[in-house]
Amino acid sequence: MQPMTPMDVQAALRAHGLNAEIRFFETSTATSQMAAENIGCQLGQIVKSLCFMVELAEGAQPVLVLTSGDQRVDDRRIAERYGVGRKKVRVASPDECIRIFGYAPGGVPPVGHRTTGLPVYIDTTLLRFDQLYAAGGDHNAIFPITPDELERATGGEFVDIVRANGE
């Protein structure tokens, strides 16, 4: 299965009424640190799109978690939301990312996915910033977005889903 492209992300941004333009860089933006260095912003302003699979009795449930680049997701909090043990939550494989979300890890955007209607959880620590930057569908593509736009475009829910300091 072929990955989707930044053109798909740009179309999704337009469909959500956002005027954000995807920017392309000569060097990779696949990690939060690389993205922040390319853009010249704080690490926390980078929106990491992390794909998880939650093993439920009826099958695997894909979940997208949008978190701040300077935070780590607490898989126990995902497990609690679904009433399962922590071992039932895992990071999606690269093949699952492409098949379900449409993009390879390091380029998964918050919008424009292959599968629609998936649960999206947005880390509340992103609310520290007025301007955020999210992956645009490839390892060197980024677009600007505000927390309000992120919530509106993804239909996501702001939740406390990151590890506490020192965990």
- pLDDT score at 164: 80
Of residues 103 and 165, more confidently modeled? 103
Helices marked H in the chain: 6-15, 32-39, 75-82, 94-96, 147-154
**pLDDT at residue 16 is higher than 90:** yes
Least-confidence region, from 24-38, 117-131, 153-167: 153-167
**pLDDT at residue 167 is higher than 80:** no
For range 57-73, the mean pLDDT: 97
Of residues 133 and 164, more confidently modeled? 133
The model's pLDDT over 87-120, given as tens digits with 9 standing for 90+, comes to 999 999 999 999 999 999 999 999 999 999 999 9
Q: Indicate the pLDDT class of residue 134, thresholds 50, 70 and 90.
A: very high
Q: Do residues 51 and 101 make contact, with C-beta atoms less than 8 angstroms apart?
A: yes
R_g (Cα) of the chain, nearest Å: 15
* CA–CA dist 60, 43 (Å, integer): 31
Instruction: Name the DSSP letter for residue 164.
Output: P
